[in-house]
Every structure is written in C-alpha cells, then in structure tokens.
Amino acid sequence: MKILGIFFLVNLLNFSFVYIVDRLAGLKFSKTLRNMSEPFSTMTFPEYVITIVLLIMVFVPPIFSFFKKQRK
C-alpha cells in the first residue's frame, strides 16, 4: 500500500506543478484541465494498451500483497 500512496503523491505533485505553471502563464482553469487531458485524447489504440498495462503493473501487486497479508 505504500507504493500506491507514493504513486498517488507523485501524480498529485505532478498535476499540481502543471496547474501552477499554466496558471502562471495566465491560462484559465478550464484550459489548464484541457491541457492535462489532451494527450489522452490523441492516443492510438496501442498507446492505450501500453498505458493500461503499466497502470496494472502499478496497482495489482500492492493489492495482491495487501490481501495476502490479510489472510495470514
């Protein structure tokens, strides 16, 4: 579970940094959100598959280890 916490913390810091830089550039909140989501709208199918596999590699092992510890 520590790995998931670190993962979410790093992502939160990354999104915060992008948001702050966009706001300092004078962009509105809606444009900032659009800038963060545009890379996902232009992805092709193989890129989606790779993204999903990488996310599974991050989430599945900590969840399995958590349930494994709960059984013991």
pLDDT of residue 40: 86
| Type of residue numbered 67 | F
Residue pair 7/58 in contact (Cβ under 8 Å)? The answer is yes
How do residues 12-69 score in pLDDT, each as one tens digit? 999 999 999 999 999 999 999 898 889 888 999 999 999 999 999 988 988 888 899 8
Distance CA 50, CA 8 (A): 19
Torsional sign, CA 64, 66, 67, 68: positive
Does this model's pTM top 0.75? no
| pLDDT above 90 for 1 | no
The tokens of 40 are what? Answer: 């996902």
> Which residues lie below 8 Å from residue 16, measured CB to CB, with a gap of 6+?
none
